[in-house]
């Protein structure tokens, strides 16, 4: 080999190395598909928070150099909270954008339709905030649930209602898989925990504007507790009308929300007096304590939006982190390999560490003992951080801490 030739080759390989390095910096991003509600009738409040949480985690991951040397890119689709739109959105994300995983889902009915598409294409589907037990019961290998589930809330609510000694309970649930599912789960849980409670539920249209006719019949004979299982804006309208009619919260009747809406940024702006004395099921409370990465996510969110962080921010951040971890462990963006990795990993997320249960049924691919709290608002406009825990994470309930409304 002549000297000049070898020098040329040497130069060429150096150039190739430079090129390779450059392309790693500008490596083709790993696309993750996000299907959330960005317009009505979907819950836009939820969708926006999920997006905020995902963006924060995406920035954290990309600052660390991405995954497998490739940056993460999020591709959004607006599902409007409508199953049919969600199905089409996921279809588009998978077939057109070639995303490696789907996440962001926050309304059960949409999740149930969208996960069918993910199953058909064998793409991992990370459920950010869909609570319906049916999602778990389907037992799809592609679906993972680092989120909360209806039976868990039902168990918590039955505990509290038993502790309060409630005898008659009425629930208002929205006409979705989440709402009807939760109302039925509470019936089951009460049968086990407090079989003497007389319980019934009424289904309300989530697009409804006036629930007065549904509330009025309670005035003559108010129950001991009214449960709400609805998302805003319908939940806010219902709460205001319950308050206006003097049904709940009142000296006779507790108001107990099972949908966890008390930590939404627009909660107090919409309910005012009607929210005072409400008992709340919560998946995040500042007193719960989160790992260091969780605190980073929380502070970033607070700096960005001036709002207190809430569960949706953490759940969304965890959803994306889980996908990143799965890719890292599988060393590939192949759907099957990622699913295998998630089934066996111990995931250390922003809310703590857990493994996905392999048991079929309501805890399939689920963070089975996801921690929750119960708290009560005692002032109008009270931020969650100022509320008092009635039940800490994995701790017994102390009903005596609940304040009965004076009005």
Partner 1 sequence: MARPRALASLGPALPFALLGAVALLPLAVSDSYWLGVLVVSMYFALISSGWNLLAGYTGQFSLAPAAFAMIGAYTTGLLCVYSGVSPWVGIAAAVGATAVIGMALGRIVMRLSGPYLALTTLSFAEIARLVIANSYNVTRGDLGLNVPGLFEERLAYYYLFLGALAAVQVGLLVLLRSPSGLYLKAIRDDEVAAASRGVDVVFWKTAAFTASTAVAGLAGALYGHFSQLVSPELGLITQSGLVICMVVIGGMGTLVGPLAGAFLVYLLSEVLREVGGVQLIVFALAVILFARFFREGLAGLARRAGLGKLA
Partner 2 sequence: MLNVDLLVNGLIVGVLYALMAVGLSLIFGILKVVNFAHGELYMLGSYAYTLAAAALGISPWLAVPVALAVGALVGWAAERLLMRPLYAGYSSWGLMRDEYAVVVTFALSILLVNLVDKVVGPYPRRGPALLDLPRMPLGPVMLSGQKLVATAVGLVVIAALTLSMRYTLWGKQIQAVAQNRLGASLAGIDTARASSAVFSAAGALAALAGALLAPIINASPDVGAFPAVKSYVIVVLGGMGSMPGSIVASLALGVLESFGAVYVSYDYRDTFGLLILVLVLLVRPQGLFGERGRVV
CB of 83 to partner 1, least distance (A): 4
- By C-beta, is 198 or 205 nearer to partner 1? 205
Binder of residue 220, out of partner 2, partner 1, none (CB less than 5 to 8 A by kind) = partner 2
In sign, the C-alpha dihedral spanning 341, 343, 348, 351 is positive
**Using CA atoms, how far apart are residues 133 and 186, in angstroms rounded to an integer?**
12
Q: Are 148 and 129 in contact (CB under 8 A)?
A: yes
CA distances to 257, 389, 395 from 401, rounded to whole Å, are 17, 8, 14
Would you give the distance in Å from CA 332 to the centre of its chain?
A: 27
Q: Which does 109 bind (CB under 5 to 8 A by kind): partner 1, partner 2, none?
A: partner 1
| Residue among 55 and 159 whose Cβ is closer to partner 1 | 55
Can you tell me the distance from the alpha carbon of 76 to that of 233, in angstroms, rounded to the nearest whole number? 23
Residue 161, token pair as written in the block = 């209602």
**How buried is 230 (Cβ within 10 angstroms: 0-12 exposed, 13-18 middle, 19+ buried)?**
buried
User: In the window 45-84, what residues touch partner 1 (CB under 8 A)?
Assistant: 78, 82-84
For residue 60, what are its two tokens?
């954290």
Task: Match 């309930």 to its residue by tokens.
Answer: 397
From partner 2, partner 1, none, interface partner of 217 (C-beta below 5 to 8 A by class): partner 2
The nearest distance, CB 405 to partner 1, in angstroms, is 32
At residue 73, the 3 state secondary structure works out as strand
| 88 is a site residue for partner 1 (CB under 8 A) | yes
Sign of the torsion formed by the C-alpha atoms of 290, 293, 296 and 297: negative
Strands 72-78 and 30-36: parallel
Query: How do strand 125-126 and strand 101-103 relate by DSSP bridges?
Result: parallel
In degrees and rounded to multiples of 5, residue 139 shows phi and psi of 65, 30
Q: Interface with partner 1 by CB under 8 A: which range of 107-115, 153-161, 223-231, 269-277?
A: 107-115
Nearer to partner 2, 198 or 244 (CB): 244
Give yes or no for residue 226 binding partner 2 (CB under 8 A): no
Partner interacting with residue 287 (select from partner 2, partner 1, none; CB below 5-8 Å by kind): none
The one of partner 1, partner 2, none whose footprint includes residue 266, by CB under 5 to 8 A per kind, is partner 2
118 counts as binding partner 2 under rule CB under 8 A: no
Q: By CB under 8 A, which span of 202-210, 242-250, 326-334, 360-368 interacts with partner 1?
A: 202-210
Residue with tokens 């502790």: 163
**How far apart are the C-alpha atoms of 106 and 41, rounded to whole Å?**
13
Report d(CA 278, CA 242) in Å as an integer. Answer: 12
Span near partner 1 by CB under 8 A; candidates 200-208, 247-255, 346-354, 377-385: 200-208
Q: How far is Cα 175 from Cα 180, in angstroms, rounded to an integer?
A: 6
Q: Is 96 in the site for partner 1 (CB under 8 A)?
A: yes
Tokens of 333: 């963006």
In the complex, least distance from residue 205 CB atom to partner 1, rounded to whole angstroms: 7
Q: Is residue 138 within the footprint of partner 1 (CB under 8 A)?
A: no
Give the per-residue contact string, 235-264, with partner 2 (x = CB under 8 A; - = no): -xx--x--xxxx------------------
Q: In this complex, which beta carbon is closest to partner 2, that of residue 220 or of residue 406?
A: 220
14 burial (CB, 10 Å; 0-12 / 13-18 / 19+) is: exposed
Q: How many residues bind partner 1 (CB under 8 A)?
A: 24
Question: Least Å distance between CB 206 and partner 2?
Answer: 12
**Nearer to partner 1 among residue 85 and residue 351 (C-beta):** 85
The interface partner of residue 84, options being partner 1, partner 2, none and the CB cut-off 5 to 8 Å by kind, is: partner 1
Task: Provide the minimum distance between the beta carbon of 27 and partner 2 in the complex, in angstroms, as a whole number.
Answer: 34
Separation between Cα atoms, residue 161 and residue 227, nearest integer Å: 10
In the list partner 2, partner 1, none, the entry touching 44 (Cβ below 5 to 8 angstroms by class) is: partner 2
The vertex-161 CA angle with 158 and 165, nearest 5°, equals 135
Which chain residues interact with partner 1 by CB under 8 A? 38-39, 78, 82-85, 87-88, 91-92, 95-96, 109, 112-113, 116, 175-177, 180, 203, 205-206
Binding site for partner 2 (CB under 8 A): 38-41, 44-45, 202-203, 205, 209-210, 212-214, 216-217, 219-220, 232-233, 236-237, 240, 243-246, 266, 269-270, 272-274
């Amino acid at each position: 080999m002549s000297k000049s030739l070898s020098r040329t080759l040497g130069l060429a390989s150096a150039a190739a190395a430079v090129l390779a390095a450059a392309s790693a910096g500008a490596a083709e991003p790993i696309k993750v598909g996000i299907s959330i509600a960005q317009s009505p009738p979907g819950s836009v409040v939820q969708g926006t928070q999920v997006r905020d949480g995902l963006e924060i985690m995406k920035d954290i991951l990309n600052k660390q150099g991405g995954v497998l040397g490739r940056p993460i890119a999020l591709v959004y689709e607006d599902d409007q909270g409508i199953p049919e739109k969600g199905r089409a959105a996921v279809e588009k994300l998978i077939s057109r954008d070639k995303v490696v995983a789907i996440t962001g889902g926050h309304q059960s009915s949409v999740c149930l339709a969208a996960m069918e598409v993910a199953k058909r294409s064998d793409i991992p589907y990370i459920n950010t905030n869909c609570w319906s037990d049916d999602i778990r019961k389907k037992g799809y290998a592609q679906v993972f649930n680092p989120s909360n589930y209806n039976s868990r809330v039902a168990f918590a609510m039955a505990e509290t209602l038993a502790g309060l000694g409630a005898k008659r309970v009425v629930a208002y649930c929205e006409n979705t898989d989440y709402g009807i599912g939760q109302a039925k789960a509470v019936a089951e849980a009460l049968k086990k925990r407090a079989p003497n409670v007389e319980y019934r539920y009424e289904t309300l249209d989530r697009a409804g504007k006036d629930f007065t006719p549904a509330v009025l019949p309670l005035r003559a004979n108010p129950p001991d507790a009214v449960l709400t299982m609805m998302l805003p804006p319908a939940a806010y309208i219902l709460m205001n009308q319950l308050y206006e009619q003097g049904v709940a919260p009142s000296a006779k009747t507790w108001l107990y929300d099972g949908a966890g809406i008390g930590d939404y940024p627009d909660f107090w702006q919409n309910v005012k007096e009607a929210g005072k004395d409400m008992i709340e099921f919560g998946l995040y409370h500042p007193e719960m304590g989160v790992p260091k990465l969780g605190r980073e996510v929380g502070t970033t969110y607070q700096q960005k939006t001036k709002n207190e962080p809430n569960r949706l921010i953490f759940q969304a951040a965890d959803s994306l982190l889980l996908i990143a971890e799965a890719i890292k462990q599988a060393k590939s963006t192949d759907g099957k390999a990622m699913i295998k990795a998630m089934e066996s990993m111990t995931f250390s997320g922003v809310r703590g560490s857990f493994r996905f249960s392999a048991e079929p049924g309501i805890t399939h691919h689920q963070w089975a003992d996801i921690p929750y709290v119960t708290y009560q608002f005692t002032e109008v406009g009270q931020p969650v951080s100022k509320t008092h825990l009635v039940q800490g994470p994995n701790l017994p309930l102390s009903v005596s801490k609940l304040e009965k409304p004076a009005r």
